[in-house]
Amino acid sequence: MKIICIGRNYSDHAKEMGAAIPSEPVFFMKPDTALLKENKFYYPSITKDLHYECELVVKISKAGKCIEAEFAKNYYNQISLGIDFTARDLQAQCKEMGLPWEKAKAFDNSAPISEKWIDVAQLTFPVHFEFYQNNELRQKSNSGEMLFSIDQIIAYVSRYVTLKTGDLIFTGTPAGVGPVAIGDHLSGNINGEKMFDFVVH
């Protein structure tokens, strides 16, 4: 499986990063080794400025290529919540040199995802989500605020990359990203339902 991540999909986050509002989706990938399966996250030694980016995550349920947006709903059936951990210091270096972001985004365990998944059929849209750091609200948004909807993302990405069953799409983060520290308690919910809850070791 692969993990596809959308960048700058909320205008308030693009603004806080000093980035332009994109005219088409921006995507990058993380390998399967980025998935955090056990709920034990260790602050990675490669960075001194690790940031959280809480995001809705979509699970692809059917393989497809060049999927039309109007049929995209047939290609995913579950949503969860995850963190697109980012080594902001490394990313800034990569951006400055005009290089790809992989080492800032694709490192081991950079993609913790809730074990719980919610069936799309049981969700009310737009899907609201919140992220808390040490019980303080840091990010709050909903799928209606996305610049590119889930269906548009699937249509766009599948023009370039064949989507396979089990692939995951991180759909972008809203404003409020920030640094984490060892000992931080991170939690998130979807439509008020607790999805993940773990401590940075």
69: Cβ–Cβ under 8 A, 6 or more apart, which residues?
149, 151, 152, 154, 155
Q: Give the pair of three-digit tokens for residue 88.
A: 């902001």
C-beta of residue 149 within 8 angstroms of C-beta of residue 76: no
Strands 54-60 and 26-30: unpaired
Closest distance of CB 53 from Mg ion, Å: 4
Q: Which of 57, 84, 131, 138 binds Mg ion (CB under 5 A)?
A: 84
Q: How many chain residues bind Mg ion (CB under 5 A)? A: 3
Closest distance of CB 116 from Mg ion, Å: 20
Please give the residues from 159 up to 198 whose contact with Mg ion meets the rule CB under 5 A.
173
Rounded to 5 degrees, φ, ψ at 105 are -125, -30
Q: Which of 34, 50, 53, 81 binds Mg ion (CB under 5 A)?
A: 53
Q: Could you say whether residue 141 binds Mg ion (CB under 5 A)?
A: no
Closest distance of CB 131 from Mg ion, Å: 12
Q: Which residue is nearest to Mg ion (CB)?
A: 84
Short-list 17, 6, 46, CA closest to 146: 6
Q: Where along the sequence are the contacts to Mg ion (CB under 5 A)?
A: 53, 84, 173
